Each structure stands twice: as C-alpha cells, then as structure tokens.
Amino acid sequence: MKSLRWLAAVLALVMIAAACGRSDNKASTSDQSTATTAASGAKSANFGTLTDVCQGGSGGGATAVGVTATGIRIGTISDPGFNGRPGLNQELFDTADVFSQWCNARGGINGRKIQLDKLDAALTNYKPQILKACADDFYLVGGGAVFDNTGVADRLKCLLPDVAAFVVTPEARSADLLTQPVPNSGTTLPIGDYRWLAKEYPASTDHVGVLTGNLPATVTTAKQGEEAAKSLGWKVVYNDQYPAAGPTSWAPYVQSMKDKGVKGLIWVGEPENLAKVEQALVDANYPLDWIRADANHYDQKLIEVGSAAIKNTYIRSVFYPFEDAAKNPATSQYLEAFKQYLPGGKAKAYLGLQAWSAWLLWAKAAKECGADLTRKCVYDNLQKVKSWTGGGLHATQDPGDNTPGNCFSLILATPTGFQLAKINPNNGIYSCNADNVYKLTGDYGKGVTLRDVGKSINDLK
C-alpha cells in the first residue's frame, strides 16, 4: 500500500513537467472504437479559426509505413492501464477517439481515414509500445507517458516522428523528430507570471521560498524556477524538499518558512499536497502574499481538500479556461465534439486540450502533403509552423522551433472555485511580452538526437 501511494505521488508530481492540468472528471476506461464514426453528411470541417481541418479526396497509394490508399494508422500513447492509478491520463485516448471520429466524419485527411492505435504504456511498458508503433504506425500523435525516456532512442532509430500532447523527461523534451503544440522546452522557461507577481507584490520578492517533492523531475522543475526567480533579482530565503507522498505533518515546513520570513512561495507538486500546506498555513496564522503553482493545479481537488484555506494561489495557464468556454468558440467546439462522439469521456482536462491541439497541428501538416503522404513531408510542414493557437484553444506558441510563447493568463484559485486573475491583459485574456520567456543557463539534461542512434535527418523519408 505504501509503495502504491508513493507511485501515485510520483505520477502526479512528474506531470508538472508537462505544464498542464488535470481534471476531476471521471475517466472513461472503455475502448471506444473509431469505427463508430458519425455518418457522413454536411458537416463543417472548420475548428475555431482553422478552416478545412479534415476533407474528402481520392486518398492515394501506400506511401509510407501505416499509410494505404484509404487509411492512415496513427499511434497515441498513454498510461491508463497502470494498476496503481487506473485511468491515468485516459483523456489522451479519449481525445484521440473523439478527434479521429470527428475528422473521419468529415472525410479524413484527403480522403484517407484515421485508423487509431491506442498504445497503453501502463507506466512501465513504454518501450514495447514504441516498438509496436515503429512497426505499424505512420506517426505518433496526441500522446504522452510518464517514463518517456525509456523509448525515445527506439523511436528515433525507427524514424518515427511524434506530435506529442506532452513530454516529461529531459531526454524526451528536446529530442529530435518531436513537435509540441505547447512546447515544454528544456532550454527556456515562461516567466510572465513571475513578472506579474513582482509588480503586484513588490515587497515579497526579497522573501521567496521554493518547495518541491524530492523526485528528480520535480527537483529539476524547481531548480529552473529558482534560476528564473534569481534572474529577476528575487532573493530566495527558503528552499526545501518534502517526501514525494507527502509528510505526516506540514507544520514543520510552515514553521521553517515562518522562521525565514517567506512572503511568496514557488510550489512544485500536486493539488492535494498544496491544499494541505495551505491548511497548515492557516493553522499557524501565517498567510503568504502569494503561492505560485503550475497548471496541473487547475484541479477541483485543490478546492475540495483545501476548502476555505485556499488563498492567494495563482496558477499559470496558456489555455482558455473551461469556466469561460461560452466566450471562446474553439473551447466550446471542443466540448461539443466530446458530447457528440464520446459523451462519457474525460473532456474537461487540460491534457485533453493539449492533445486536441496536437491532432489539429498534425492534420494541418498532413493535409498539405496531398496524396503523397510521407513522414518527411509532414515533418517538414510541421517545422514551418511558427505561430500556433490550436484554432484559438490557447495562446500563441512556436512548435516549429520548440519555443513557448510569450503570452500567459493566470487562474486564481478560491475556496469556491477558479477564476481568471486580473492581470491587465493586452491580447484577449492573455498578457504578452517578449520578456515573458527566459532562456535557462543551467544544465538540466539534454534530449536524445538522431545522431545519438546513428541516424540523420536525411534518413527520414
């Protein structure tokens, strides 16, 4: 039981590297087949600001692995079969089901229908699933797995490109033949929220604390955040790590922060543990000016566990929030697609949004290849995309250069739920500035390259 609890904490924490959120929606673990597509008819193939995402056509020949005259086999990898947390990241499979049905009902990609392979890594079987994809699939799209470092070299050996919903480890984050709709680079860090906090709470920047779980992935994330804070002239007066599963009591950590005079806290962890920290802060009568958390804390569990203790907690985001979906056509359309094709699916999850954006990005690049659909053609098209919003799902990103955008929004967690913080945006709900992306100088590991496995980009066909 103790080991399972520890593993569950590992999973929740390591997801921070994806810079994404979790959902409190119940996961759908059923294997929804893409064969149950809606009947063809007069359906719009537009999504948000994107036009003609999917389309009919005459298809073409068997131009590459996984491509026939009538179909395209695409692999999506995730971890829902992990016994320690059944349904882990089920939203990646659900999104793949919904998008493939939505697209196929509109003609597919130039007439070729998407044939989905759902590859369940179940946490510890990432490499075997990658090898399966190498044999069967044209591309990996819209997936992500916790231990992605265990198969990235194999993926490159078979020259299998990946348009990932998220990546986690340093080996995968900057690997070759990888495209991310919302880049999580190992060399840059978005810091717009840091800059906003400094303006809003100027007295706090000389009294900053950093607290994270004692796991390699989260320690790396915390170190990157600390480097960025110091680059802004902040003074870090407290830096500590807690057991991954959470300590028996948070009171000693709060007392240490109090002793050091912490006013603002950079937190790297999971919602349940942060909620308990905030309860301990209330018990000690020691309110902080602010707590900064990653987007995985946009999770109802933070509110359920923390209740009235949740105060001044800011969560960085680049997606339009679900609470305001009615104001954003792309978010509304995404939710409507789930209602139509998989009503019991895990729709309200930020990972699902990232996966949908990955599918849109791949579809755009594949469409432009016409009948001559090859891995190289799609990859070359992906490299050209320097400005991407997923049709309006999120702030502008640069997937071609694997560089995060300079726009952000902040979500304020309150005892009654989540709402957009008032950040004086200059682009819709987002605040955009060239200084919002920081180039890291520390050594945080590097990605696997084609050269590392004896290949080159010239081998991609």
pTM: predicted TM-score of the whole model, two decimal places = 0.86
pLDDT at 421: 95
2 or 238, which is more confident:
238
Answer yes or no: is pLDDT of 10 > 70: no
pLDDT at 14: 44
List of E strands, 198-296:
208-213, 236-242, 264-268, 290-293
Least confident span in 24-38, 55-69, 75-89, 165-179: 24-38
Answer yes or no: is pLDDT of 285 > 80: yes
pLDDT at 22: 41
List phi, psi (to 5°) of 70: -120, -10
Interval 130-156: pLDDT, tens: 999 999 999 999 999 988 999 999 999
pLDDT at 244: 79
3-state secondary structure 89-110: CHHHHHHHHHHHHHHHCCCCEC
Least confident span in 130-134, 277-281, 296-300: 296-300
Which run of H or E residues covers position 365?
A: helix 350-367
Tell me what the mean pLDDT of segment 354-381 comes to: 97
Answer yes or no: is pLDDT of 37 > 50: no
Percent of the chain whose predicted confidence (pLDDT) is above 70: 91
pLDDT at 353: 93
Tell me what the mean pLDDT of segment 208-224 comes to: 89
Domains of the chain: residue spans and CATH? 2-33+50-182+324-400 (3.40.50.2300), 188-317+406-439 (3.40.50.2300)
Which run of H or E residues covers position 315?
A: strand 313-317
4 or 184, which is more confident:
184
Query: What CA–CA distance (Å, rounded) separates 458 from 100?
Result: 30
